[in-house]
Amino acid sequence: MSLEGQHVGRYALLRLLGSGGMGEVYLAQDSVIQRQIAIKMMRADVTSYSNATTMQEAARLFLREARAIAMLDHPHILPLYDYGETTLHGTSITYLVMPYRPEGSLTVWLHQRGSLQDPRGMSQDIVPIVSQAADALQHAHDHQIIHQDVKPANFLVRSNQQNPSRPDVLLADFGVARLNTATASGSSSIRGTPAYMAPEQLEGHAVPATDQYALAIMTYELLTGRPPFQGGLAQVMYQHIQTQPIPPSTLNPHVPADVDTVILRALAKKPEERFPSISAFAHALQEAMHATVAGTLISKHTASRATPAIEQSVLPSADSRTRTTLSKSKMMVFLVLTMLVIVGSIGFISFSVTRKGRLDTSNATVLSNTPTAQNPYAPTAVLALNDPLRDNSQGYNWQTGKNQNNATCTFVDGAYQSTQPLDGDFHACLALATNFSDFVYEVEMTMVSGYGGGIIFRANQADSTFYYFRVSQDGSYDVRAYVDAQIDHSILLTEGSSPAIQTGYGHPNLLAVVAQGSTLAFYANHQLITRVSNSTYSYGQIGVVAYNQGGLATVVYRNAKVWRL
């Protein structure tokens, strides 16, 4: 039943704008200050035909939405003007009053705009939209609110006078938001839009990374014109839990490899394998996209993209540590969800590979090794990490524990130790709470046994990609870009030996990398030993390794430092 022409307090309902779930949104006129507003209220059919319990639930959700919006003050979140209750046709109705945006939703704008799938359109249009959305969601997360229904239809558009082709977006509809406050209910109700729901949301356990997953799906849609998972309701839910998405570049060849990597990391099945925050995801996307427009990324037709490395890296691995086999509990959840027809691991993953196969060296340029200044590091850089590596108290979340091959990452006797007992393999230990782009990374390494150690940087734990600077006890070194550690698909960038490296066991070597854009410079004991140009990866985590070739490798690390450039 339409409520057009009715009055709700001081608001005259003009026409229906849309409806969904238990709510309807009307365009209304504020009779006091003479402006048009949008008013969200219980659907007429809910109030007319529903029982008291359903109406109470609807009222509870409206009140929760009002409280959620009232807690937030952000330029990209649609504000709340008013909240109240009234009686229509003898029934009590709850309503919310918000600004009216005549431009409509982001969905409408995209249909009017057409394709954003060329490289310049991606950078100029998609990046601002995603950045604004992420800023709004980060603000909500900072206030312990998880939106749980991130999608284009829930972002309203506001015209930008300075740049009409690049509108502002406003996050709306907190109707299913979860408030993680001390007084919040412990309910694990499953609400949201199935096409955008993360695996943990389908299980009723939403976390802030759940919104990151949904925003990544929205970004995927902006890049390709479609979400990563399609089909019937049961098929889509199954794919969220079980199926790895294909890279966006498969559907849009203009999408560069680095953007593929960012999107696929944000779509990791496990929340802890995504970016540490939704802001970090947006920043990574911005860096990858802007670098592409500037021409600093590797072309998709160079040697690094001649083989489908990134596509391979996101497929389920035969290694049981990273396999995405549907667990019994998740299968049960999936079956239950399918029957209901919804509307509207302790430890860590480590890199442990066997060196085999031909290595591709076509993707690197070795630069001059002549130092350009007496001080090998940038003197104006800002110290961002200073960790003696005695324990995990600094908050960088260095990995600790043992994997199935008994390789370990652990703090021992006031230092950080990596071991690898498996011959021919190396074992990486990452600082999971780090994410650096242009930087100087320095750490002291002491070989106790085995063949070598070294440092990892610009790593992505979720898909096992990283740069690896290995230094051996005989004074040799090599630098590689791993594009899929699970099958040892690595690119050898350079190798050699240097008298700057102290040989044998028990002698500390101060290792460092200066990473600025595509230029990577490597140091041992403050002496430059090699420089290469390679832009496979532009940001990520730091770490250390132990490499075994002929005997148990044990490597000890102290005093990790990172300076931002």
Residues 6+ apart with CB under 8 A from 63: 83, 94
**Single-letter amino acid code for the residue at 212:** Q
Look up residue 242 and give its amino acid: Q
CA distance 123 to 130: 10
Side chain identity at 275, as an amino acid letter?
A: F
Instruction: For residue 149, indicate whether it is catalytic.
Output: yes
| Number of neighbours of residue 114 by Cβ within 10 angstroms | 9
Cβ-Cβ contacts under 8 Å for 77 (sequence gap 6 or more): 69, 136, 139, 140, 170, 171, 172
Sign of CA dihedral 437, 434, 298, 373: positive
Is the CB of residue 390 less than 8 Å from the CB of residue 411? yes
352 bridge partner residues: 427
* Matching residue, tokens 């600025």: 516
Catalytic residue among 135, 149, 260, 478: 149
Cβ(94)–Cβ(41) under 8 Å?
Answer: yes
CA-angle at 313, arms to 418 and 487, nearest 5°: 60
| Closest to 501 (Cα-Cα) out of 480, 523, 520, 531 | 523
CA gap 219, 210 in Å, rounded? 14
Q: Annotate 491-524 with DSSP letters as a single string.
A: EEEEEEE-TTSPPSSS-EEEEEEEEETTEEEEEE
Distance CA 250, CA 534 (A): 23
Which residues are marked as active site?
149
